[in-house]
Amino acid sequence: MKEVPRNFFMQDVCSVAKKLLGCAFVRELSDGSRLAGRIVETEAYAHSNDPASHSRSGKTPRNAVMFGPPGHLYVYFTYGMHYCCNVVTGAEGRGEAILLRALEPLSGIALMAVKRYGKKDMNAREVRDLSRGPARLCRAFGIGREQNGADLCSGEFRILQADPAAEIQIGCSSRIGIREGCSHPWRFYIQNNPWVSGPARNVQA
DNA sequence: CGTGAGATTTCCT
DNA sequence: GGAAATCTCACGT
């Protein structure tokens, strides 16, 4: 698999959210170990006219990375406990990003288990929940405040292009966990993939 | 596997 | 002050 180029992130935020499905999200730790997961669920957050987006009221210290150049990680802390990880898209200054909601573990699974549960061995439920959900995948990948602003085209984090031969069926629904902006069907997921969080609601391409 | 309470930062009204 | 792009734990099935 090949890395996606910088201009991949310059496209419309919903287009990128769909194209990210099937791509691999990779972190190479400084000690040489490698964590990888297949992206199976995303949500798009637009720059304007989107009351659910963190960028809705302009730039703040927390969301500054969203307004920066595309292809970087926007990591935020929420509910007093959890981190969530986004990919910045669109031209600098727009404030668009895609929330990574779920990954299918590919490699470094034992290391993810240690980061998330503090142990190597998992029961069936722990395996299922390893990276199914935005805050869970952050824990499995060791993503926190320090990773906010990390570049996806250099350094520890990379996104590898999806295998074009692997045909996937994309479903979409309204976004999860928000009260406003529910009318936008901007949650995208790979249909019938067991690693997708939550129910498959309004199924359509 | 479903349900429901609790944890507790950041930002806006 | 109050809600938020959520999860864990406890307990019932």
- Residue A89 CA, distance from chain mean position: 12
What was the pLDDT predicted at A50? 92
d(CA A133, CA A152): 21
CB atoms near residue A147 (< 10 Å): 19
Q: Where are the beta strands (DSSP E) in chain A?
A: 24-28, 34-45, 73-78, 82-89, 96-107, 157-160, 170-173, 187-190
Chain C bases near protein CB atoms (7 A cut-off): 3-8
SS3 for A120-139 is CCCCHHHHHCCCECHHHHHH
Residue with smallest Cα–C1' gap to B8: A80
In chain A, what is the greatest distance between 2 CA atoms, to the nearest angstrom? Answer: 45
Q: What letter represents residue A105's amino acid? A: P
Residue A120 CB in 7 A reach of strand B: no
pTM score over 0.85: yes
β-bridge partners, A78: A82
What was the pLDDT predicted at A159? 98
Give pLDDT tens digits for A129-179: 999 999 999 999 999 999 999 999 999 999 999 988 888 999 999 999 898
Enclosing H/E stretch for A114: helix A109-117
Low-confidence ranges of chain A (pLDDT < 70): 198-205
Domain ranges in chain A are: 6-166
Å: A67 CA to C5 C1'? 17
d(CA A83, CA A36): 18
Report DSSP letters for A93-111, one per residue: TS-EEEEEEEEEEEE-HHH
Residue A86 CB in 7 A reach of strand B: no
Residue A199 CB in 7 A reach of strand B: no
* CATH class (in words) of the domain with range A6-166: alpha beta
Q: What letter represents residue A30's amino acid? A: S
First vs last Cα of chain A: how many Å apart? 25
> Closest Cα partner for A131 from A140, A123, A118?
A140
Residue A78 CB in 7 A reach of strand B: yes
3-state secondary structure of A169: coil
